[in-house]
Structure 1
Amino acid sequence: MRPPNTPPARAAATATADDTEFRTLLDRLSDKATEDYYNPFTTFDWPATIPTDELWMSPELLSFHGTELMDELSPARLQALSRWESVNFYSLNVHGIRELLIEVTRRVHTPGFELPSEFFHHFIGEENDHMWFFATFCLKYAGKIYPDKSVKLPGAPRDPDIENFLVFARILIFEQVVDHYNVRMAADRRLHPTVRHLNHLHHQDESRHIAFGCRLVHLLWNRLLERDPDDVALRELRDYLGRYLTTSIESFYNPAVYRDAGLPDGFALRRRLLTHPARQAAHAKVLHKTTGFLNRIGVFDARH
């Protein structure tokens, strides 16, 4: 029961502040962030160039992987595709981080987010560092950052509790998708040491952000359910998240990448690849942790 004369937002904040498990997690993650702190401006020893006759992304992560089109690529074309798909990947990180920084900064030290605000400061600082080193890689070795071509999804609910939940659900989806790539590239000895180092550092920080995000999204979901939202609102929320999952995956299929790699008719290639059974299976693998988590806490059910 809410204390007398306590506004709803403050009541939610009080309930969150009493969550001992969340507080313990935040303290542990903050301590780990302090322990793992590095200065990105001195950590990287940027080489003058990264050879273009080497892989810049693991072949198993390329948008062609598993298709007959992959088998048709010459070694030089495969290297070019890996180079430009890596630049697209880091460009997506730059744009995605910019968006999440805006959303998290809007909520730091605001009603309902008193408890996580201390960790938000670690989060904001680390994500700013990530955006810098991803942008530096793109500009230094490719001379450009691919522009943000993401589609702004219509129909996002404006209810504050639903909006808060969707913001952090989107951030978690983004981070888990990116981390799938980071983990594999950090461990791939076929890649240049700078590429591996970049992905390793990002995974190191993102592992904390994902642990935080899973707990916060679960708490926000439970807070939302306490209001007993109607079926229409929940259906709209699920439809919105489903569309976000789809557009997140589709952003890895960039016609400009195919053009830069010397492949003709990039839009037709994109359409063909997106519907290829092997790529559909790859998408499910990339999203496995995210969809499993959302199913587990009840946002989706087994049919999603």
Structure 2
Amino acid sequence: MKTPVEVSDREETASRLLESSARKSYDPMVEVDWEAPIPADKFGLTPEWSTLYGTALWDEMTDEKKVELTKHEAASIASVGLWFEILLMQMLLKDIYGQDKHSRHVQFALTEVADECRHSVMFARAGERLGMPSYGPHPVIHKFGRIFGSTYRGANAYAGVMAAEEILDMMQRDFMKDERVQPLTRTVSKIHVLEEARHIRFAREEVARRLESAGWFRLQYERISTAASVYIIMKSLVRKGVYENVGLDPKRAKAEAKRNRHYKDTVRTSGSKLMQFLDSVGLVGGPTKHIYKRVNLL
């Protein structure tokens, strides 16, 4: 028996989130010191979140190489976040296109689009400031995104959005508190975490609300499409090119990352909140369990 998810009235939720947005929102162009120096000894992300942390290859690397690797990993993760923010904006705008623009629900959705637009610029500027390549998902996945953005509707759209945001959130909560990490990464992470808390709340309630009356066939479709979104996001976070650009043997690095028990355990532990929610609304079951296991969330 699934635990029912508490869902407030849609307009009440949107009103509270609009009030929160008015009280606490950030302009990254002002809040981030884009001219500050980039310390040579600071990691790009919390080292324990590196895909190679805990491997034999990691132990062989110099401190300088470890720092460089984590900067490239951070840039790759941010680029995937940027890609998904753009898809999110498309889906939100299409979802509210025919709805009453006087409603608080639509007004918060528009507020979220404005937030995501700023976040996209912030991620792009951060990668540029760190002097990193413009990563992003695999070209095939990038093309698939055009289909994803135009065809996902209802609960699966919000579930995919929520999952992407929570995956970034679970990492960035560690990045923003870690003094070993670049000040730029910490500030960007803090802004994203604080504003995404509202977006995640909005998406969670919308997923639960839209699944309340879902029949068996609809639920199976929602399960598969949501799991597919999560799989693609997790597999896209750190591109193979990261290892090549740092000067590592890409074949060995990818093989060690794939076997990395520490990374798998970190993802599983940090992603437990997301999986508990998905399970509570019936989005985990059948073949999707295998999909989530493939990306270390179960």
Give the structure 1 partner of residue 95 of structure 2: 107
Alignment of 1:209-228 (within 5 A): 209-223=199-213, 225=214, 228=215
> What's the CA shift for 1:164?
1.7
Q: Which residue of 2 aligns with 1:252?
A: 237
Matches for 1:114-133 after TM superposition, within 5 Å: 116-133=105-122
SS of equivalent to 1:116: helix
| CA shift in 2, pair 1:257/1:246, >3 Å | same
Aligned counterpart, 2:276: 292
**Residue identity in the other structure for 2:33:** D
Query: Per-residue displacement from partner, 1:211-233 (whole Å, max 9, x unpaired)?
Result: 1111111111114x1xx343xx5
Change (3 A) 1:195 1:240: same
* TM-score normalized with structure 1 length: 0.81
Distance 1:176 1:184 in 2: 13
Alpha-carbon distance in 2 for matches of 1:155, 1:46? 35
DSSP 3-state at the match of 2:43: coil
CA-to-aligned-CA distance 1:260-300 (integer Å, 9 cap, x gap):
11111x24532442244333323322421211101112222
Aligned length: 277
- Structure scoring higher RCO (CA < 8 A, sep ≥ 6) equals 2
**Is 2:12 aligned against 1:28?**
no
Counterpart selection for 2:176 from 162, 167, 186: 186
What residue is the counterpart of 1:14 in the other structure? none
C-alpha contact (below 8 Å) 1:250/1:274 kept by paired residues: no
Q: Identical aligned pairs, as a percentage? A: 19
Counterpart check, 1:86 vs 2:70? no
Query: Are 2:196 and 1:206 aligned?
Result: yes
Aligned to 1:144: 133
RMSD: 2.7
Other-structure match for 2:292: none
Aligned-partner residue type, residue 248 of structure 2: L
When residues 280 and 112 of structure 1 are mapped into structure 2, their CA distance, relative to the original with a 3 A threshold, is farther
User: Against the structure 1 CA distance between its residues 45 and 239, is the aligned structure 2 distance closer, same or farther, given a 3 Å change threshold?
Assistant: same
From the superposition, tell whether residues 47 and 82 of structure 1 become closer, same or farther in structure 2 (CA, over 3 Å): same
Alignment partners' CA distance in 1, 2:132 and 2:43:
18
Instruction: Tell me: CA distance 1:222–1:41, structure 2 relative to 1, closer, same or farther (3 Å).
Output: same
> After the TM superposition, which of the residue ranges 128-137 and 63-72 deviates more from structure 2?
63-72
Is the Cα contact below 8 Å between 2:77 and 2:238 reproduced in 1? no
Matched, 1:262 2:247: yes
Per-residue deviation, 1:48: 4.9
Cα distance in 2 for partners of 1:255, 1:298 equals 34
Unaligned runs of 5+ in 1: 1-18
